[in-house]
C-alpha cells in the first residue's frame, strides 16, 4: 500500500504544460510574479524573484526540471480563502436543491459551512484553487460540491466538526491533479483514445503527491485523493483496489465523486441519474453511506417537465446497448482461444462486467420482449419515460466505463498483445456511442 506521507512524498519533478499554461492564463487577468528566485535542478537560476510570469516565460520554465515546485515560488494576488470557500458553498446550495437539503437553515448549515471555511489552505494549495476558479471554473465548482457532500455524510455519521473538515478537505482537493491535464482533453465533446486517457487515469496520483507535501492535512487525505476513483468491486483506477483495500475516506470520496459528477454543468435530471446509478451498482459503493444519498433524493420535490426522449426512443437505445453486450460475449468467446493466459484473464474480468450489466437490465425488468412492447407504446407515462431515459443513460455510461477499463487492464496485463479483431471492433462500437445523450 502506498503511503504518500508528507515526510516522503514529493511533487511531480517536472511542471506539466497544462499547469504552466493555466499559470500564464491567470497572468493575463492579474499579476502573477515569482516570490523568490527559481532554479533548475542543477542549481542554475532561471528567474529572479519579483519577475512577472507571462507567456514569454512559458517555454523557459517548461524545458527545465525545477529545483522546487513552481507553486511554491509564485504569487498570484488575492488567493482563495476560507471565506471564499464558504461563499461558494452557499452559492452551490442556492443553485442545487439536492445540496441545499444537506444544510437546512440553523445549526446544521452553520456546522457544514464552518467545516468548509476551516479547511487549511497552504499558499500553494490556495494558488491551485485560485487557478481552478479563474481558469477552470468547472473543476472548482465540482470541488465545492464534493466538499459539501463529504462533510454532510461525515456529519450524518455522527462525527465532530474536525472530522467534517478533514472530509471536506479531501473533497475539495481531490481533483487538484486535473489542473495538470490539458483542458482540451477534458472537453465534454471529445472522444479520447487510449493514450489520451493516460493523464486522466494518473490525475489521482498527481493530486495525492501535491497534497502530501503539507503537514496541515492528515495522511488519510492524500491517500483518499489517490483512491477517489477506486470502487469496491475493483473496477476503478489507478490501482484497481477492491473492498477493504480502499480506505474509509477513499470510499467516501468514491461515492461522492459519482454523485456530484451527475450535478456538474447542466445535466438533465441529475437526481434521477444518481438514484438509478446507485440502485444498479450496489457492489461498487460503501453500503453504509448510500442510504444517506437516497434520503436526500427522496426529500427532493418531483422533477418538472418531461425528458426529451420518448418511451420508444429510449427502448430503441436500450436495444442497441443490449446488442453491444451480446456482441461483447461473442467477441470474447471467439477471441479467447488464440490468446495467452494473461489475455484470457483480462477478457474473463470483462466478461464478469458484461454479465453484471446484463443483470442490471434484467433486474430493471428489461428483456427483448419488454423492449418490443415498449417500442410500440404510445400512451403518456412520465414516470416510465424518465425511468427508461435514466436507465439507457446509465447503461451507456457503464459500457463506456467498461471499455475504458478493458483498455487499462489490457495495457498493463496482456503483455503488449494487439486487441483481437472482434474485440477491437467492439471497442470502436462502444466508443461511437453518444456520451452526451
CATH number (domain holding residue 177): 1.10.3210.10
φ, ψ (nearest 5 deg) of residue 103: -135, 70
Is 10 a member of any domain?
A: no
Same domain? 127 vs 251: yes
Of 75, 92, 110, the last residue of a domain is: 75
Residues 225 and 88 in one domain: yes
Residue 61 lies in a domain: yes
176, 16 contact by CB (below 8 A): no
Local structure of 1: helix, strand or coil: coil
Clarify whether residues 236 and 337 are in a common domain: no
- What is the predicted pLDDT for the residue at 381? 61
The dihedrals phi and psi of 26, each to the nearest 5 degrees, come to -65, -35
Q: Are residues 225 and 345 in the same domain?
A: no
**pLDDT of res. 385:** 77
Cell of 420: 483481437
Structural domain contains residue 342: yes
pLDDT of residue 144: 97
Find, among 209, 201, 207, 212, the residue nearest to 239 by Cα.
201
Domain end point (choices 299, 324, 356): 299
Residue 401's Cβ-side half-sphere holds a number of Cα atoms within 13 Å equal to 18
- pLDDT value, residue 330: 87
Write the CB contacts of 113 (distance below 8 Å, at least 6 apart in sequence). 86, 89, 90, 103
What does the pLDDT read at residue 120?
Answer: 98
Centre a 10 Å sphere on the Cβ of residue 187 and count the other Cβ atoms it contains: 9
Provide the whole-model pTM: 0.77
Cell of 152: 454532510
**Domains of the chain: total:** 3
Is residue 304 included in any domain, yes or no? no
325 with 267, same domain? no
The radius of gyration of the chain's CA atoms, rounded to the nearest angstrom, is 23
Query: Measuring CA to CA, how many Å separate 379 from each of 304, 306, 391?
Result: 19, 14, 19
Q: Is residue 159 part of a domain?
A: yes
Single out the residue of 234, 227, 280 nearest to residue 257, CA to CA. 227
pLDDT string in tens for the chain (437-residue length)? 233 333 334 444 457 888 988 898 898 888 899 999 999 888 999 899 999 888 777 777 878 888 888 899 998 889 999 999 999 999 999 999 999 999 889 999 999 999 999 999 999 999 999 999 999 999 999 999 999 999 999 999 999 999 999 999 999 999 999 999 887 776 655 555 566 677 788 899 999 999 999 999 999 999 999 999 999 988 889 999 999 999 999 999 999 999 998 887 667 778 877 887 787 677 889 999 999 999 998 898 866 666 777 888 888 888 888 888 888 888 888 888 888 888 888 888 788 878 878 777 776 667 777 777 777 777 666 767 777 888 888 888 888 888 888 888 888 776 667 888 988 999 989 888 864 44
Same domain for 270 and 321, yes or no, is no
Q: Evaluate whether residue 12 is within a structural domain.
A: no
Do 226 and 87 belong together in one domain?
yes
What distance in Å separates the CA atoms of residue 166 and residue 162, rounded to the nearest whole number? 6
Q: Could you tell me if 174 and 245 lie in one domain?
A: yes
Nearest to 298 by CA among 98, 146, 148: 98
The C-alpha cell at 206 is 498527481
- Helix (H) or strand (E) holding 322, with range, is helix 311-335
Domain presence at residue 6: no
User: Would you say residue 436 lies in a domain?
Assistant: no
Q: How much is the pLDDT for 9?
A: 41
Q: Are residues 246 and 336 in the same domain?
A: no
Is the Cα torsion angle 275, 278, 322, 422 positive or negative in sign? positive
Query: What local confidence, expressed as pLDDT, does residue 190 receive?
Result: 53
Q: Can you give the residue range of the structural domain that contains 98?
A: 82-299
> At 153, phi and psi to the nearest 5?
-65, -35
Judge if 54 and 105 occupy the same domain: no
Q: CA–CA separation, 317 vs 426, rounded Å?
A: 17
Asked if 247 and 134 sit in the same domain, the reply is yes
Out of 75, 99, 116, a domain closes at: 75
Write down the residue that cell numbers 472530522 correspond to: 163
Question: Do residues 160 and 128 both lie within one domain?
Answer: yes
Amino acid at each position: 500500500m502506498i503511503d504518500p506521507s508528507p515526510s516522503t512524498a514529493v511533487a511531480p519533478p517536472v511542471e506539466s504544460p497544462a499547469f504552466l499554461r493555466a499559470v500564464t492564463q491567470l497572468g493575463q487577468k492579474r499579476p502573477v510574479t515569482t516570490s523568490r528566485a527559481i532554479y533548475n535542478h542543477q542549481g542554475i537560476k532561471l528567474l529572479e524573484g519579483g519577475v512577472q510570469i507571462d507567456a514569454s516565460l512559458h517555454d523557459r520554465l517548461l524545458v527545465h526540471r525545477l529545483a522546487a515546485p513552481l507553486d511554491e515560488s509564485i504569487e498570484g494576488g488575492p488567493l482563495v480563502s476560507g471565506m471564499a470557500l464558504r461563499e461558494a458553498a452557499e452559492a452551490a446550495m442556492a443553485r442545487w436543491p439536492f445540496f441545499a437539503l444537506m444544510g437546512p437553515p440553523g445549526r446544521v448549515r452553520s456546522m457544514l459551512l464552518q467545516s468548509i471555511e476551516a479547511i487549511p489552505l497552504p499558499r500553494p494549495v490556495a494558488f491551485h484553487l485560485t487557478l481552478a476558479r479563474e481558469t477552470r471554473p468547472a473543476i472548482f465548482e465540482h470541488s465545492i460540491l464534493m466538499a459539501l457532500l463529504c462533510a454532510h455524510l461525515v456529519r450524518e455519521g455522527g462525527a465532530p466538526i474536525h472530522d467534517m473538515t478533514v472530509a471536506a478537505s479531501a473533497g475539495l482537493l481531490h481533483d487538484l491533479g486535473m489542473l495538470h491535464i490539458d483542458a482540451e482533453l477534458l472537453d465534454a465533446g471529445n472522444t479520447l483514445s487510449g493514450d489520451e486517457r493516460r493523464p486522466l487515469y494518473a490525475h489521482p496520483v498527481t493530486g495525492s503527491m501535491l497534497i502530501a507535501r503539507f503537514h496541515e492535512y492528515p495522511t488519510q487525505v492524500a491517500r483518499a485523493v489517490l483512491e477517489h476513483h477506486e470502487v469496491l468491486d475493483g473496477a476503478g483506477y489507478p490501482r484497481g483496489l477492491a473492498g477493504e483495500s480502499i480506505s474509509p475516506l477513499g470510499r467516501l470520496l468514491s461515492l461522492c465523486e459519482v454523485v456530484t459528477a451527475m450535478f456538474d454543468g447542466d445535466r438533465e435530471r441529475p437526481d434521477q441519474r444518481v438514484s438509478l446509478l446507485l440502485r444498479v451498482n450496489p457492489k461498487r459503493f460503501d453500503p453504509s453511506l448510500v442510504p444517506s444519498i437516497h434520503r436526500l433524493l427522496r426529500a427532493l420535490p418531483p422533477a418538472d417537465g418531461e425528458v426529451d426522449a420518448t418511451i420508444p426512443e429510449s427502448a430503441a437505445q436500450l436495444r442497441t446497448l443490449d446488442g453491444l453486450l451480446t456482441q461483447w460475449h461473442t467477441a470474447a468467446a471467439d477471441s479467447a482461444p488464440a490468446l495467452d493466459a494473461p489475455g484470457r484473464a483480462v477478457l474473463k474480468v470483462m466478461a464478469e462486467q458484461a454479465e453484471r450489466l446484463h443483470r442490471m437490465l434484467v433486474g430493471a425488468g428489461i428483456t427483448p420482449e419488454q423492449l418490443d412492447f415498449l417500442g410500440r407504446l404510445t400512451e403518456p407515462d412520465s414516470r416510465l419515460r424518465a425511468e427508461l431515459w435514466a436507465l439507457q443513460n446509465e447503461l451507456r455510461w457503464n459500457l463506456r466505463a467498461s471499455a475504458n477499463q478493458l483498455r487499462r487492464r489490457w495495457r498493463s496485463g496482456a503483455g503488449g498483445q494487439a486487441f483481437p479483431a472482434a474485440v477491437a471492433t467492439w471497442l470502436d462500437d462502444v466508443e461511437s456511442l453518444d456520451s452526451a445523450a
